[in-house]
């Protein structure tokens, strides 16, 4: 016999998904958003140190958006990305008789759809992993609008 989906089970499923797809996402917590059954998962993004343990290095490259660049990475210098605290990462809830999740404009968006033109992180495996987990409850998510992740709703298998 399959378990029924609840908001608490969906919360746990989504937090586990976040941990699986983004190792930098730490300290996941849920806040109630506007409406009765609408929640947002906040995370702290903690990035690892990136220290040059060798000699000075000249770094050159081209970026389609910024153009070419060149800088010297000095020995012992840390190029760590700045940690971000309290990032609104993913929303979920129950609306019009269906469970939903949304990453539209939130921190997890690039794991679900191409918001920047640079592609989907990890080839969009977040959607595949989530739907495999939802199958345990005889459910799957599909986009309610045009893009995956903008506002996906659960349907029965």
DSSP-assigned letters across all residues of 40-70: EEEEEE-PPP-B--SS-EEEEEEETTTEEEE
Give the pair of three-digit tokens for residue 33: 């958003």
Please give the pLDDT value at position 119: 67
Mean pLDDT of the chain: 87
Q: Which residues contact 86 (CB under 8 A, 6 or more apart)?
A: 42, 44
Query: Can you tell me the mean pLDDT for 86-102?
Result: 91
Q: Domain limits of the chain?
A: 31-46+89-156, 51-82
Whole-angstrom Cα distance, residue 35 to residue 82? 33
Please give the pLDDT value at position 44: 95
By percentage, how much of the chain surpasses pLDDT 70? 93
Q: What residues pair up with 71 in beta bridges, in sequence order? A: 59
| The pLDDT of residue 105 is above 60 | yes
The residue with greater pLDDT, 85 or 144, is 85
Please give the pLDDT value at position 144: 79
The residue with greater pLDDT, 157 or 99, is 99
Whole-angstrom Cα distance, residue 3 to residue 1? 7
Please give the pLDDT value at position 139: 94
| The model's pTM | 0.81
| The pLDDT of residue 1 is above 60 | no
Q: In this predicted model, what pLDDT tens digit does every residue of 51-90 receive, in sequence order?
A: 989 899 998 888 777 788 888 989 999 888 899 999 999 9
Q: In this predicted model, what pLDDT tens digit does every residue of 18-47 receive, in sequence order?
A: 999 999 999 999 999 776 788 999 999 998
């Amino acid at each position: 016999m399959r378990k029924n989906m609840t908001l608490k089970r969906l919360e746990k499923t989504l937090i586990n998904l976040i941990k699986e797809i983004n190792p930098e996402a730490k300290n996941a917590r849920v806040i109630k958003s506007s409406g009765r059954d609408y929640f947002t998962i906040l995370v702290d993004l903690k990035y690892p140190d990136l220290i040059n343990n060798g000699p000075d290095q000249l770094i050159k490259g081209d970026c389609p958006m910024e153009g070419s660049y060149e800088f010297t990475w000095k020995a012992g210098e840390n190029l760590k990305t700045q940690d971000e605290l309290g990032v609104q990462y993913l929303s979920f809830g129950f609306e019009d008789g269906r469970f939903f999740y949304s990453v539209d404009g939130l921190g997890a968006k690039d794991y679900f759809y191409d918001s920047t033109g640079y592609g989907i992180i990890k080839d969009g495996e977040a959607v595949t992993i989530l739907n495999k987990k939802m199958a345990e409850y005889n459910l799957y998510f599909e986009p309610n609008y045009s893009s995956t992740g903008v506002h996906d709703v659960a349907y029965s298998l």
